[in-house]
A and B are shown apart, each in its own frame.
Chain A
């Protein structure tokens, strides 16, 4: 049978590391890295044994510790920074906020002694009486019938169309992309406005399709698309 045990839950790698340091009464400015790394990893193994998901952040910290440990083994230049320094700084900063969050917790408890009430329903009642419709008890068929009778009363005639027209696409995004790329190859620079001007007749459909083509192109490497101002010309240049 699988069961899980809730051992100390830590907020993150710094929390765990700080816990280990405090437990062993270690001087934070002189952390015995080898010892603390062993304990840290031992704890992670424990977590995994208890079937807890070990977040990647904890594993990252383990590798940071191992890195520092190996740096400590190497001979150091005289004035170089202690490899532990960065970690210590981070630990201290975390501890600063962890401590103050505990103080704030007390503030929170303190303020919970005061009760206040939620806002009144401050809706304005106007002179016009608005009838509240409850839609809960109306089903779709009733709505359908109401709709039909409404149309009947208003003498609206619904003409059902038996045939639908399917229009052929005059422009495809792919065609427009090809067109733009061809121009780009020729001159190295394409202005969207002049592309439109070249056409004798431009339709909304063409403009929209060309815009989609520009978006499509923007995914490709090796070109730059820019616009000086809002609503001004869009220029594509080969980079």
Chain B
């Protein structure tokens, strides 16, 4: 059995980001080993200019995608441009969840100053966020976190790759 060949087939067939635990279960190998091999593959796919595919890592999942350089060609193949981008309201809500997770709806609404029920429902439907439990407070409010799909949507390897929040201190502001 050629592990790399198996991995490539698995990622192709699955299409969507495939979780490392799932892969290690199928191959009966430790996640550390699988991670190591997949990272090797990521590099070799990237370096091989004859290939049109790359492997990307989002959190604990890997996915085969096309290469960025070939975007224009694929684009001209498509009939219409599919606009998958999120609304401003969704972006704001998602940002708050990403940095403050796990977070309740009320906390999000306090920051945005508007009701967020529908936006949160939309994000849940898109699998960009998930309910990770409930607070032991009156009303047992649900708390939300981002998903691996969130990382994929923004091309992040892990949640640590989020851009730093620019906290402008009073002094800095006055200096400018």
Contacts and interface: CB of A to CB of B under 8 A. Distances in A.
Nearest to A109: B85
In this complex, the interface size class of chain B, counting residues with CB under 8 Å from chain A, is: 35 or more
Given A96-B166, A96-B167, A120-B15, A108 B153 contact: yes
B173 to A, nearest CB: 7
Contact of A104 (B13, B65, B95, B152): B95
B91 A105 contact: yes
Nearest to A105: B91
Counting chain A CB atoms within 10 Å of each CB, the highest count among B15, B64, B92 belongs to: B92
Interface stretch (B19-27, B34-42, B109-117, B131-139): B109-117
Contacts, number: 113
Nearest to B155: A111
B10 to A, nearest CB: 11
Contacts of A57: 113-115
Given A28-B173, A61-B113, A97-B99, A116 B64 contact: yes
A40 interface: no
B106 interface: no
Given A28-B173, A90-B113, A119-B16, A111 B154 contact: yes
Contacts of A15: 113
B155 A114 contact: yes
Given A11-B114, A94-B112, A100 B95 contact: yes
A203 B96 CA distance: 55
Given A55-B114, A103-B163, A114-B68, A11 B154 contact: no
Interface of B: 13-16, 54, 56, 63-68, 71, 74, 84-86, 88-89, 91-92, 94-96, 98-99, 110-115, 152-156, 162-163, 165-168, 170, 173-174
